C-alpha cells in the first residue's frame, strides 16, 4: 500500500465516519428509555422539544453563553453541532453524579452542542461473551458518534465507581481500524459525599490519557453534593455551580478547536506502517494470533 493510501485511512483513527456520525436509534432522542434500556438520551430535559430545559429553577445564564455558542475557530471546516456523549457513574435513584451530568448536558445544549446522555442502567458487567447486548452496542455506537465526552463519577473509596469504570471497560482502545475514543476530547467532573477531593477526577484523567483522549484543562469537584442540589435536581447558586459553567464553556471551545484536527493529531507512524505492511490495522486478537503462530515455528 502506498503512503498516500495509508494516510487516506486516517478517518478511521480519529473522527467518526459519516455512517457512524449518523447513528440513530428509535427512542434515542427521548425523555425515557426503551423497554430494553437503550435510548432516553434527553432525560435531562423537562420538555422533549426544548433544548437545555430542565425541571425546577431554569438558572442557565444563556445570554452569557452566546460567545461560546457562536465561537468558531479561524478556518473551521466543520459546521455541524459538536457531538457530545455524557457518561455518569451511579445507579442510585437520587444519584448526584447523574444530576451533575444532566446540568452539564443542559449547559452544553445552551452552547449549541448535540448532546446524548447514556444511562448505565442495564449495562452488563464487562464480559466478552456479551458484546451483542443492546446496551453494549449502544454505548460503543455513541462513542463512535461522539466528538467529545463528559465524564462524571462519584468518589467511592478514594476512586471512581465500578459503575463508571465498567462503561470505560466496554469501550475497547481498538477494534481493528476503528478507534472508539481516540482523538475525542474529555471533560472530567466528580461529586463527593463529604469534603472536596480530587481522587476521582485524577483517575478520570488517567483513564482519558490511556484511551488517547485529550482532556479539557479545567475540571470540577463538587464537595458535599447533597447540599448543592435542590429537590428538583438543579444546582443551587454558589461557587460549585459557577465552576461547572466554566468547565463546560471551556470544554465546548476546546472541542471545537480539537475536532478540526483530530485525525491529524492521532495519525501515527506505527499505524501507517502497519497499514502499509498488513493492509489494515490489526485487532489485538489478530496480533496475538500472529505472535502465537510465529512462536510455534521451528
What are the grid coordinates assigned to 239, written together?
461557587
Residues 204, 175: contact at Cβ < 8 Å?
A: no
**Do both 218 and 78 map to the same domain?**
yes
Q: Report how far residue 180's alpha carbon sits from residue 167's, in angstroms, rounded to the nearest whole number.
A: 12
pLDDT in tens, the chain (298 residues): 333 333 333 344 345 566 677 899 999 999 999 999 999 999 999 999 999 999 999 999 999 999 999 999 999 999 999 999 999 999 999 999 999 999 999 999 999 999 999 999 999 999 999 999 999 999 999 999 999 999 999 999 999 999 999 999 999 876 655 678 989 999 999 999 999 999 999 999 999 999 999 999 999 999 999 999 999 999 999 999 999 999 999 999 999 999 999 888 888 898 889 889 988 877 767 777 777 787 787 7
- Residues near 26 by beta carbon (within 8 Å), at least 6 away in sequence: 34, 39
**Do both 183 and 287 map to the same domain?**
no
**Do both 89 and 199 map to the same domain?**
yes
* Cα 142 → chain centroid: 8
Q: Which residues pair with 188 in a beta bridge?
A: 151
Q: What's the helix, strand, coil split of the chain in %, to 5?
A: 40, 10, 50
Q: Report the pLDDT value the prediction gives residue 75, as an integer from 0 to 100.
A: 94
- Does residue 204 lie within any of the structural domains? yes
- Does residue 72 lie within any of the structural domains? yes
Q: Could you identify the residue written with the cell 466554566?
A: 246
**Do both 286 and 227 map to the same domain?**
no
**Do both 158 and 280 map to the same domain?**
no
**Do both 201 and 289 map to the same domain?**
no
- Does residue 93 lie within any of the structural domains? yes
**Do both 99 and 239 map to the same domain?**
yes
**Do both 274 and 236 map to the same domain?**
no
Q: Is the dihedral of CA 13, 171, 142, 48 positive or negative?
A: negative
Residue 241, CA distances (Å) to 140, 186, 201, 246, 289 in order: 30, 19, 17, 9, 51
- Length of the chain equals 298
- Does residue 13 lie within any of the structural domains? no
- 189 three-class SS: strand
- Does residue 56 lie within any of the structural domains? no
Q: Report how far residue 181's alpha carbon sits from residue 198's, in angstroms, rounded to the nearest whole number.
A: 23
**Helix/strand/coil (H/E/C) assignment for every residue in 119-180:** CCCCCCCCCHHHCCCHHHHHHHHHHHHCCEEEEEEECECCECCHHHHHHHHCCCCCECCECC
Q: What is the DSSP string of 67-99?
A: HHHH---TT----SPPEEEEEE----TT-HHHH
- Does residue 34 lie within any of the structural domains? no
* Cα 180 → chain centroid: 10
Q: Report the pLDDT value the prediction gives residue 223, as an integer from 0 to 100.
A: 97
- Does residue 6 lie within any of the structural domains? no
**Do both 118 and 244 map to the same domain?**
yes
**Do both 286 and 181 map to the same domain?**
no
**Do both 240 and 293 map to the same domain?**
no
Q: Report the pLDDT value the prediction gives residue 266, as an integer from 0 to 100.
A: 83
Q: Report how far residue 91's alpha carbon sits from residue 150's, in angstroms, rounded to the nearest whole number.
A: 17
Count of structural domains, the chain? 2
Can you give the residue range of the structural domain that contains 276?
Answer: 269-297
**Do both 259 and 291 map to the same domain?**
no
Q: What is the CATH number of the domain that holds 46?
A: 3.40.50.360
- Does residue 24 lie within any of the structural domains? no
Amino acid at each position: 500500500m502506498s503512503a498516500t493510501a495509508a494516510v487516506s485511512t486516517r478517518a478511521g483513527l480519529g473522527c467518526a465516519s459519516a455512517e457512524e456520525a449518523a447513528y440513530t436509534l428509535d427512542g434515542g432522542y427521548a425523555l425515557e428509555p426503551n423497554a430494553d434500556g437503550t435510548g432516553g438520551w434527553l432525560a435531562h430535559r423537562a420538555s422533549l422539544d426544548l433544548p437545555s430545559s430542565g425541571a425546577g429553577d431554569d438558572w442557565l445564564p444563556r445570554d452569557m453563553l452566546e460567545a461560546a455558542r457562536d465561537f468558531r475557530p479561524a478556518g473551521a471546516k466543520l459546521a455541524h453541532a459538536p457531538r457530545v456523549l455524557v457518561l455518569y457513574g451511579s445507579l442510585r435513584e437520587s444519584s448526584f453524579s447523574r444530576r451533575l451530568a444532566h446540568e452539564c448536558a443542559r449547559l452544553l445544549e445552551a452552547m449549541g452542542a448535540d448532546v446524548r446522555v447514556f444511562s448505565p442502567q442495564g449495562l452488563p458487567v464487562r464480559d466478552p461473551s456479551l458484546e451483542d447486548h443492546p446496551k453494549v452496542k449502544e454505548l460503543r455506537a455513541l462513542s463512535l458518534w461522539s466528538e467529545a465526552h463528559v465524564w462524571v463519577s462519584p468518589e467511592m473509596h478514594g476512586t471512581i465507581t465500578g459503575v463508571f469504570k465498567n462503561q470505560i471497560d466496554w469501550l475497547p482502545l481498538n477494534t481493528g481500524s476503528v478507534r472508539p475514543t481516540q482523538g475525542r476530547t474529555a471533560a472530567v467532573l466528580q461529586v463527593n459525599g463529604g469534603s472536596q477531593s480530587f481522587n476521582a477526577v485524577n483517575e478520570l484523567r488517567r483513564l482519558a490519557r490511556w484511551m488517547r483522549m485529550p482532556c479539557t484543562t479545567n475540571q470540577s469537584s463538587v464537595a458535599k453534593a447533597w447540599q448543592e442540589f435542590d429537590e428538583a435536581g438543579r444546582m443551587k447558586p454558589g461557587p460549585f455551580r459557577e465552576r461547572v459553567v466554566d468547565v463546560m464553556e471551556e470544554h465546548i471551545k476546546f472541542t471545537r478547536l480539537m475536532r478540526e484536527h483530530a485525525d491529524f493529531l492521532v495519525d501515527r507512524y506505527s499505524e501507517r506502517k502497519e497499514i502499509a505492511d498488513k493492509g489494515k490495522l490489526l485487532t489485538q486478537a489478530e496480533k496475538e494470533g500472529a505472535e502465537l503462530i510465529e512462536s510455534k515455528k521451528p
